[in-house]
């Protein structure tokens, strides 16, 4: 009889469980067919939640992509990467190259309905240089006359930025600097409304207000951002009603959401590349573009073992870069001849150093590399870890022992700046489409350490050639200077230049007019449509 009571309670339990289970599953049945989309919006994917949308503080590509939809600057880059007008209608450069005068359009409004005028630019630019603002982008405006005094706190304004009248802005530089207009296309040079910045304070980074073709309607952190169209945009309203950026760190999820139709464009992750490329349904919907970037293996040239050029040469000849590109990387890039990407190079490429394991072994014997464990630092990215292990195994074949240390991004940068690494893997993405951006920050001796020259490379001739090129605004002489500088750099091997990664995206058949732009700031979201 006792067992009967147990039976009863078990039966009750079972009934409860069935009820609970059905209750749990019912909404699932209802919702599994629903699509997770906002009508009329185009859906893109972000790899991570942007940390800020305040142009003064944005240092990453994700932030830059979104900021391009919300803000404008004086000038911008078009799809051919030429500098064209944005809010500035026209401009003149003085014959000595130090003074830029901009005429501002009169029909541009912020999304809070106020007109944009020249003093807004002075405010926005000074904000970048303001020591109290702690912007990491001060270097963008460093070349402006009076900038250094202002940053030090010795002046109350930047003398080189002058508002001549509400629609005329004049900027003077200390010395002529040919890429200056390019710098003005960058995220840091976007214009922001003073009253909104002061109203929100620190929270302006989550409540950005600009003049752009879209407005931030909603941001649920780590989930999605909704941008809706600004119908009064000065250059004509966008074709789509809005953009939804979904934050999806996991590649598999992104691919599944794409196949379910919840994402409109994705960049294809390596693990799924083969599958899509060989399928009839998706084969035609690929778009690819050679990226303006440089992926390289850098050496610490400031101390042993890699202060010895023979050691560097040995490593560069011990690795078969072409094979890695063709097998592991599945040809999703262009083999590099030097630091400058092919699209920017207007001079003949320097000859690459070939894969030659015998010579490499010889050089290793002569260069004091044997018996040392090389400290190889990388970032905490799976693809980078894979490449590092491949490099490690090539070097092992050559008799060298390599210890890989994987660090999270900020610790990685700190370690490189302290010179802890013997060699490291890193990539450099263009801020603006000028070969100078691949030479000056990476190889000029004034940029040792955090500014970009992490190999501590020093070569006076190269310095001079780069500086000469910077002083010229146009012309073939510039190409000659940069070309010669690159040739010397490739000979000295401060880094082994691997490849320029291609950007490959896949779109839904319903998406029209989607273009990949090699520089994120170009895409203002105006052309794409359904």
Partner 1 sequence: MGLAGKLSLGALAFIFLLSIAAPLIVPYDPNAIDLDSLRQSPSTRHLLGTDNKGRDIFARLLHGGKISIGISLLAALVSMTIGLAVGLVSGYAGGKTDTALMSLVDLILSFPTLLLAIGVSIVLPAGIYSVMIALSAVGWASFARLIRGHILSLKEIAFIEAARSLGCTGSRIMIVHLLPQCIPLALVMAGLKAGGYILTEAGLSFLGLGAQPPTATWGSMISTSRVFISSASWMVFPPGIMIAVTAVCFNLLGDALKEKYDVRDGKGL
Partner 2 sequence: MLTKALPGDPVYSMVGERSSPEIIEKIRKEIGADKGVVRQYAGYVTLLVQGELGRSYFTGRKVIDDICVKFPNTMRLACASMIIAAPLGIFFGFLSAKKRGKFTDRVITLFSVSGISVPVFWSGLLLMLFFSLRMRLLPPSGTGGMQYLLLPAITLSLPALATLVRITRVMVIDIMDMPYIRTARAKGITEAGVSMVHILKNALIPVITVIGLEFASYLNGAVLTETIFGWDGIGRYAMEGIIKRDYPVIMGCLLVGTLVFVFINLIVDVIYHYADPRVRVHGTGR
The answer to whether 406 and 378 are in contact (CB under 8 A) is yes
Task: From the list partner 1, partner 2, none, pick the one residue 269 interacts with, judged by a Cβ distance below 5 to 8 Å according to partner type.
Answer: partner 1
Contact with partner 1 (CB under 8 A) among 17, 59, 380, 477:
380
Least distance to partner 2 from the beta carbon of 38, Å?
14
Residue 84 has phi, psi (to 5 degrees) of -130, 175
Q: Please report the beta strands in 300-410, taking only residues with DSSP state E, as ranges in sequence order.
A: 333-335, 373-379, 401-407
Question: CA 122, CA 118: separation in Å to the nearest integer?
Answer: 7
Helix, strand, or coil here: 520? helix
Inter-helix orientation angle 309-318/382-397, to 10°: 100
508 near 261, Cβ under 8 Å? Answer: yes
28 binds partner 2 (CB under 8 A): yes
Give the closest residue to 297 by CA, choosing from 441, 423, 428. 423
- Give the integer Cα–Cα distance in Å for 203 and 526: 28
Judged by beta carbon, residue 74 or residue 388, the one nearer partner 1 is 388
> Does 373 help bind partner 2 (rule: CB under 8 A)?
no
Residue closer to partner 2 (CB basis): 79 or 381: 381
Q: From the CB of 500, what's the least distance to partner 1, in Å?
A: 20
For residue 20, give both structure tokens. 């609970």
Q: Which is nearer to partner 1, 38 or 270 (CB)?
A: 270
Question: Phi then psi for 509, rounded to 5 degrees?
Answer: -60, -20
Cis peptide leading into 99, omega within 30 of 0?
no
Among 274, 365, 366, 471, binds partner 1 (CB under 8 A): 274
State the sign of the Cα–Cα–Cα–Cα dihedral 117, 119, 123, 128: positive
Count of chain residues binding partner 1 (CB under 8 A): 25
- Tell which positions 176-215 bind partner 2, by CB under 8 A: 202, 205-206
269 binds partner 1, rule: CB under 8 A: yes
In whole angstroms, what is the distance from residue 524 CA to residue 530 CA?
16
Window of 79-87, 116-124, 216-224, 320-328 that interacts with partner 1 by CB under 8 A:
320-328
Which span (176-184, 209-217, 224-232, 321-329) binds partner 1, by CB under 8 A?
321-329
415 lines the binding site for partner 1 (CB under 8 A): no
- In three-state form (DSSP H/G/I as H, E/B as E, the rest C), the secondary structure along 275-294 is HHHCCCCCHHHEEEEECCEE
Only segment of 133-141, 356-364, 506-514, 515-523 that touches partner 2 (CB under 8 A): 133-141
- Contact call for residue 256 and partner 2 (CB under 8 A): yes
324 binds partner 1 (CB under 8 A): yes
Pairing outcome for strands 99-104 and 88-93: antiparallel
Which one of residues 149, 404, 472, 488 is an interface residue with partner 1 (CB under 8 A)? 404
Query: Which one of the spans 47-55, 174-182, 266-274, 288-296 is the region binding partner 1 (CB under 8 A)?
Result: 266-274
| Sign of CA pseudo-dihedral 400, 404, 409, 415 | negative
Among 94, 271, 370, 401, binds partner 1 (CB under 8 A): 271
Determine which residue in the list 22, 59, 84, 397 makes contact with partner 2, applying CB under 8 A.
Answer: 59
Q: Is 82 in the site for partner 2 (CB under 8 A)?
A: no
- Partner in contact with 223, chosen from partner 2, partner 1, none, beta carbon below 5 to 8 Å by kind: partner 2
Shortest distance, position 525 Cβ to partner 1, whole Å: 29
Judged by CB under 8 A, the number of residues near partner 2 is: 58
Q: Distance of alpha carbon 315 from its chain centroid, rounded? A: 28
Provide the sign of the torsion angle of the four alpha carbons 270, 275, 281, 283, taken in this order.
positive
Cβ neighbour number for residue 397 with a 10 Å cutoff: 12
Does position 271 interact with partner 2 (CB under 8 A)? The reply is: no
Which residue, 105 or 405, has its beta carbon nearer to partner 1?
405
C-alpha 135/C-alpha 140 separation (Å) is: 11
With binding defined as CB under 8 A, does residue 84 bind partner 2?
no
- Write the DSSP assignment of 83-104 as a string of letters: EEESSEEEEEE-TTS-EEEEEE
Q: Work out whether 168 is an interface residue with partner 2 (CB under 8 A).
A: no
Task: Say which residue the tokens 């900038």 belong to.
Answer: 147
What is the bridge-based pairing of β-strands 423-429 and 495-507? unpaired
Q: Is 523 in the site for partner 1 (CB under 8 A)?
A: no
User: Closest approach of Cβ 439 to partner 2, in Å?
Assistant: 16
- Residue closer to partner 2 by CB (options 205, 459) is 205
Phi, psi of 117 (to 5 degrees): -125, 175
Q: Which stretches of the chain bind partner 2, using CB under 8 A?
A: 1-3, 5-6, 9-10, 13-14, 16-17, 20, 24, 27-28, 31-32, 36, 49, 51-52, 59, 131, 134-139, 151-152, 202, 205-206, 221-223, 248-250, 252-253, 256-257, 259-260, 262, 408-411, 413-414, 417, 441, 450-452
């Amino acid at each position: 009889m006792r067992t009967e009571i147990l039976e009863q309670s078990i039966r009750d339990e079972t009934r409860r469980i069935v009820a609970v289970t059905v209750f749990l599953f019912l909404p699932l049945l209802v919702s599994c067919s629903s699509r997770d989309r906002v009508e009329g919006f185009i859906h893109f994917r972000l790899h991570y939640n942007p940390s800020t949308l305040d142009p003064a503080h944005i240092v990453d590509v994700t932030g830059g992509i979104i900021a391009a939809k919300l803000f404008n600057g004086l000038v911008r880059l078009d799809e051919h990467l030429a500098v064209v007008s944005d809010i500035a209608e026209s401009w003149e450069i003085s014959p000595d190259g130090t003074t830029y005068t901009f005429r501002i359009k009169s029909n541009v409004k912020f999304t809070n309905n106020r007109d944009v005028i020249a003093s807004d630019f002075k405010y926005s630019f000074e904000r970048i240089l303001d020591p109290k603002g702690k912007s990491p982008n001060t270097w963008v405006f460093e070349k402006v006359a009076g900038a250094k005094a202002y940053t030090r706190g010795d002046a109350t304004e930047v003398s080189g930025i002058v508002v001549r009248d509400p629609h005329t802005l004049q900027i003077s530089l200390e010395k002529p600097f040919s890429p200056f207009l390019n710098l003005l296309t960058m995220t840091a040079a976007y214009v922001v409304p003073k009253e909104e910045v002061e109203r929100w304070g620190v929270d302006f980074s989550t409540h950005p207000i600009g003049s752009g073709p879209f407005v931030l309607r909603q941001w649920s952190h780590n989930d999605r951002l909704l941008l809706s169209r600004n119908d009064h945009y000065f250059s004509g309203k966008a074709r789509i009603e809005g953009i939804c950026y979904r934050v999806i760190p996991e590649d598999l999820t992104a691919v599944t959401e794409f196949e379910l139709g919840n994402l409109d464009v994705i960049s294809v992750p390596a693990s799924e590349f083969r599958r899509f490329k060989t399928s009839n349904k998706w084969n035609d919907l690929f778009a690819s573009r050679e990226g303006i970037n440089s992926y390289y293996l850098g050496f610490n040239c400031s101390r042993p073992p890699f202060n010895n050029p023979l050691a560097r040469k040995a490593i560069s000849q011990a690795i078969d870069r072409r094979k890695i590109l063709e097998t592991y990387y599945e040809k999703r890039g262009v083999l590099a001849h030097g630091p400058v990407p092919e699209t920017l190079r207007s001079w003949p490429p320097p000859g690459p150093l070939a894969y030659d394991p015998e010579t490499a072994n010889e050089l290793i014997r002569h260069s004091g590399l044997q018996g040392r464990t090389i400290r190889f630092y990388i970032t905490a990215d799976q693809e980078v870890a894979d490449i590092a292990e491949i490099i490690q195994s090539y070097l092992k074949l050559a008799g060298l022992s390599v210890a890989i240390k994987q660090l999270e991004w900020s610790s990685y940068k700190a370690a490189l700046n302290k010179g802890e690494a013997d060699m490291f893997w890193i990539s450099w993405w263009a801020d603006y489409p000028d070969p100078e951006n691949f030479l000056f920050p990476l190889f000029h001796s004034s940029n040792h350490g955090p500014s970009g020259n992490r190999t501590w490379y020093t070569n006076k001739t190269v310095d001079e050639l780069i500086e000469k090129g910077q002083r010229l605004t146009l012309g073939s002489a510039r190409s000659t200077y940069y070309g010669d500088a690159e040739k010397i750099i490739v000979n000295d091997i401060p880094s082994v230049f691997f490849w320029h990664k291609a950007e490959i995206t896949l779109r839904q058949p319903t998406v029209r007019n989607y273009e990949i732009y090699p520089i994120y700031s170009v895409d203002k979201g105006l052309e794409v449509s359904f």
